[in-house]
């Protein structure tokens, strides 16, 4: 795998995780949270996804 291919795959998977994390957030709750709370919750949701989906690339 070339460096460019590996980088593109990394970016694609990072975007997949971000999208899935945002989809798992409670949109109404985010309306009243401050930005650090939203980022923390997003990180938590992504961590949960990494643990529960258990895809080979999610090591």
CB 17 within 8 A of CB 46: yes
The answer, yes or no, to whether residue 57 has pLDDT greater than 80, is no
Domain containing 7 equals 3-53
pLDDT at 17: 93
The total number of structural domains that make up the chain? 1
pTM of this structure: 0.78
In this predicted structure, the answer to whether residue 25 has a pLDDT above a threshold of 90 is yes
With pLDDT > 90 as the criterion, what percentage of the chain qualifies?
69
- Let me know if residue 45 belongs to a domain: yes
∠ at Cα 6 (25, 21), nearest 5°?
5
Q: How far apart are the first and last CA of the chain?
A: 18
Tokens linked to 47 = 């961590």
pLDDT (mean) for 30-55: 91
Closest CA to 46 of 26, 28, 27, 19: 19
Residue 24 lies in a domain: yes
Residue 58 lies inside a defined structural domain of this protein = no
Q: Is residue 59 part of a domain?
A: no
């Amino acid at each position: 795998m070339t460096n460019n291919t590996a980088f593109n795959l990394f970016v694609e998977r990072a975007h997949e995780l971000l999208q899935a994390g945002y989809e798992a957030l409670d949109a109404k709750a985010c309306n009243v949270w401050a930005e650090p709370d939203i980022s923390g919750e997003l990180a938590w949701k992504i961590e949960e996804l990494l643990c529960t989906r258990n895809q080979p690339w999610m090591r």
